[in-house]
Structure 1
Amino acid sequence: MRDLDDDARSAGYGTPLGAGEHPAVLVIDICAAYLTDGSPLRAPVEDAVHAAATVVKGARAGRYPVLFTRVSYRPGTTEGGLFRRKIPTLSVFEEGNPLGDFLDDPAPLPGDTVVTKQYPSAFHGTALAANLTAAGIDTLLIVGLTTSGCIRATATDAMQHGFRPLVVADACGDRDRRLHEANLFDLNAKYADVIDLDAALRVLS
């Protein structure tokens, strides 16, 4: 069986985009739902969350913007549409449920942008692209949860909106390592640069 990396390279996939001149960190959906025992979305993502917090600290030390996303639905509404029908356990993100709350670290500080979304991509139905453009940001270091869901959707849309997506592998997590690794491979081949924690901190240094 042919090696996947060799196959991708021979087909012309995986050309690095690199970082631009004005990066920011985008923290996707890191909240209690993924780390609380008993939550239907509980996942083994502690190491990824710790790495994401390290990236956020690096951004703050370098005075780079940090943006956060959160999922929120008003109870009794059709917000989230077919996404919520496909995944009924997204009800944990209804307003008032503490599973939707940010963690202590990483968490937004006063002045940080918080994007409230209802679908996987942080760009879908939000003002994120317009706000990034207005701020002169050309590169997003993307961290958070989950790799196969909102990370993948956001990174793909970032590229489609003209922003360089750098997905920090160590700082993203999923329910299963196989999902995580398969989606990182495909992102790196087609839609984003997948980098490690050290590379992310160098961009922010």
Structure 2
Amino acid sequence: MDLSDDYAAAGFMGRLGFGARPAVVVVDVVRAYLEPGSPLADGAGRFEGARASAARVVRAARAAGHPVVFTRVRLMPGRADAGLFGQKVPGLVVFEEGSPLAEFPDDPAPLAGEVVVAKQYASAFFGTSLASTLNAWDVDTVVVVGFSTSGCVRATALDALQHGFRPIVVAEACGDRADWAHAQNLFDLDAKYADVLGEREVLDHLTTHPGGAAR
């Protein structure tokens, strides 16, 4: 039996679908994952491919009038606000204030007036105002793109579900250090917590269901 069929027979693999008002949440698409020589870069182009896909999703969302929110990890010098996360992952030093690796690439990058959520932990919802912002906009669906699939993307999609939003994870627009980590986490997300869709399907939905600009 195919693994997906086995999971479905056990009661997993349900579908959530898009709601009436999606927003794109761009999780930590920053130079730390893209610049050669950065400790978080993968060296094989996985993050670069995901960046290009995320940029296409962002352009489609903007053109159709859907809100776009960016997140970034922002830590104080010395990482005192990173708690045990900073101890577990010393590589978070690249996100300390003043680090050029903590900045956004040229594309995608927030436009003037778009919300940028600063966070200290994996989930874009943990300890931030993201849920309140999305609720104020009447958003019911969170389209998640970004880095990394097994870390901040996964945590954000899970918390989106737990906050009552429909999580849609765009497979090609997420990246990880290893193909196996990317694939296994996408499978598990799709089985339990989110709908994992291809870029083309997401672009088609965003462009054929225009929304209003974020208030």
TM-score over 0.5 for the alignment?
yes
Structure 1 position 76, deviation (Å): 2.8
Letter in structure 2 aligned against 1:3: D
1:126 maps to which of 128, 141, 148: 128
Deviations 1:138-185 (A, max 9, x none): 001100000000000000000000000000001000001100000000
The answer on whether the counterparts of 2:79 and 2:93 sit within 8 Å (CA) in structure 1 is: no
Structure 1 position 115, deviation (Å): 0.3
Q: Secondary structure at the match of 1:25?
A: strand
Query: Partners of 2:194 and 2:21 in 1: how far apart?
Result: 17
Aligned match of 1:18:
17
Query: Partners of 1:193 and 1:148 in 2: how far apart?
Result: 15
Q: Secondary structure at the match of 2:80?
A: coil
Q: Secondary structure at the match of 1:79?
A: helix
Equivalent residue runs for 1:17-166 within 5 Å? 17-43=16-42, 44-166=46-168
Number of matched pairs: 204
Structure 1 position 78, deviation (Å): 1.4
- Which runs of no fewer than 5 residues in structure 2 stay unpaired? 208-215
- Which runs of no fewer than 5 residues in structure 1 stay unpaired? none
Structure 1 position 77, deviation (Å): 4.6
RMSD (CA atoms): 0.8
Question: Which range is displaced more, 23-32 or 35-44?
Answer: 35-44
The answer on whether the counterparts of 2:147 and 2:176 sit within 8 Å (CA) in structure 1 is: yes
Structure 1 position 3, deviation (Å): 3.0
Q: Secondary structure at the match of 2:81?
A: coil
